[in-house]
Structure 1
Amino acid sequence: MGVGDPLNQFEAFVNAVGSVFDGPVTWFRESVVDKNRPEYYWYHRQFRRVPTIDECYTDDIVCFVEANEQFKRDRMVDNEVLSILRQRHHDCILYEGHDHKEKCASIKEQYDKAAENWFIKYGDLGVYGDVKAAYMKQKHRLLWERRHGPVGTGMKNPME
C-alpha cells in the first residue's frame, strides 16, 4: 500500500465524494485565481516615495496631500523605531541588573540619539502636526543655527 492509499472501502468512498466537491474548486483556484493574482513579496504594503513639501509648487494641493501622507507614514515608522530602541534598553536593564550602567551604555546612547533626532523633527508639533508645520520648524531651526549657533549651545557672542 502507498502513502495516500485508503485503508478501507469507506475511506475510499469518502475521498471520492470529497474530490467531487473539492476538485472543481481546487482546479478553479489553481488555474484561474492564482494565475491572475499578483505576487506580493513583502508582508506590508509598500508605498512609492512622493515629493517632499519643499519640492511641491505653492498651488499644488495634491502634492501637499501626498507629502502630508508620506510625512504621517514616516512619523509612524520613526515612532516604532524609537519604541523598539526603548524596549531594547528596558530589556537590557532588566537582564543586566546592577551592571546595566556599563553594559547597556551603547544601547542607551543609540536610544538617546534617536530620541533627540525624533524630537528635532517631530517635537512640539502636537497631535495634529502636519508636513507644513514640520517644514517651517526645520526652516526656523536652520535660521536660528545660522544666526546663533547650534541649538543648546547658548547664543553667539555679538562681538564675534
Structure 2
Amino acid sequence: MDDTPSPRNAINRFVQAVSNTVQAPVIWFREKVVEPNRTPYPWYHQKFRRVPTIDECYTDDPVCYYEAQLQFKRDKLVDNEILNILRMRFEDCVMYEAPDHVRKCRPLLEEYEKASENWFIKYGDLGAYGNVIDAYMKQKHRMVWERRHGPVGTGMKEAAVEVEAH
C-alpha cells in the first residue's frame, strides 16, 4: 500500500493528484525498465575511468584540469592506503616474529621503504593543498635536475661542479 497520508482538504488532494500524475510514469519506468537491466555493483569497488593527465590537457581547458585534479586526488588516496597496508603488514610481522623479526621481516621492510620513497618522490613537499599542477612541476624539476646532475641523492656531476667553481 501507499504509505503517504490521505489528503486533508481539496488543495492537498489536488497537489497529490498532480504529483502522482508526474511521478507515476517516472517511478514505473525506473522499477520496470532501469533496475531490472542494471547489473548490481558494490559501491566500494567503483572503478573510475582514467582521464587525461595534466600534461595532456590544453592550457585553456578547465574541465580537463578539474578531471586531472580529481584523478590526482584519487591516486593519492590509493597510494596512501597502499603505504598504510604495507606499514601494517610490517608491524604485524614484527609483532608476530618477535625475536627474529630483523631477519624474517626484512623483505617487508624493504618493500615498505621503497614504496614510501616512491610516495615521497611523487607527493612529498607538496603540502596539504598540493594539486596536480604542483606535482607536475615537481616532476618536471626533478627530471631537469637528473638530466643536469644525475639521479637525485648521488651528488652532482663533476663537470657541473667545475663549471660553477669558475
TM-score of the superposed pair, with normalisation by structure 1: 0.76
The aligned residue for residue 76 of structure 1 is 77
Q: Distance in 2 between matches of 1:34 and 1:66?
A: 29
Q: CA separation in 2, counterparts of 1:43 and 1:78? A: 16
Letter of the 2:121 counterpart: I
Q: Which residue of 2 aligns with 1:62?
A: 63
Report the equivalent of 2:53.
Answer: 52
Q: Give 1:42 shift.
A: 6.7
Deviations 1:21-44 (A, max 9, x none): xxxxxxx9xx83741444326742
Instruction: Please give the alpha-carbon distance, in whole angstroms, between the structure 2 residues aligned to 1:87 and 1:48.
Output: 29
1:132-154 CA distances to partner (integer Å, 9 max, x unpaired)? 00000000000000001100011
Name the amino acid aligned to 1:111. Y
Identity %, equivalent residues? 66
TM-score by length of 2: 0.74
What CA distance in whole angstroms lies between the structure 1 residues aligned with 2:44 and 2:124?
Answer: 30
Q: For residue 58 of structure 1, report the CA deviation from its aligned partner.
A: 0.7
State the alpha-carbon separation in 2 of the partners of residues 42 and 128 from structure 1: 27
Equivalent positions of 1:27-42 (< 5 A) are 32=32, 34-40=35-41
* Partner residue, 1:100: 101
Structure showing greater relative contact order (alpha-carbon pairs closer than 8 Å, 6 or more residues apart): 1
- Matching residue of 1:117: 118
Q: Point out 4+ residue stretches in structure 1 off by more than 2 angstroms.
A: 31-34, 36-39, 41-44
Q: Report the CA distance between 1:92 and its aligned residue.
A: 0.4
- Corresponding residue for 2:15? none
Post-superposition CA distance 1:11-61 (Å, at most 9, x none): xxxxxxxxxxxxxxxxx9xx8374144432674221111000000001111
The root-mean-square deviation of aligned C-alpha atoms, in Å, is 2.0
1:117-156 equivalence runs, <5 A: 117-156=118-157
CA deviation map 1:109-130 (0-9, x unaligned):
1000000000000000001000
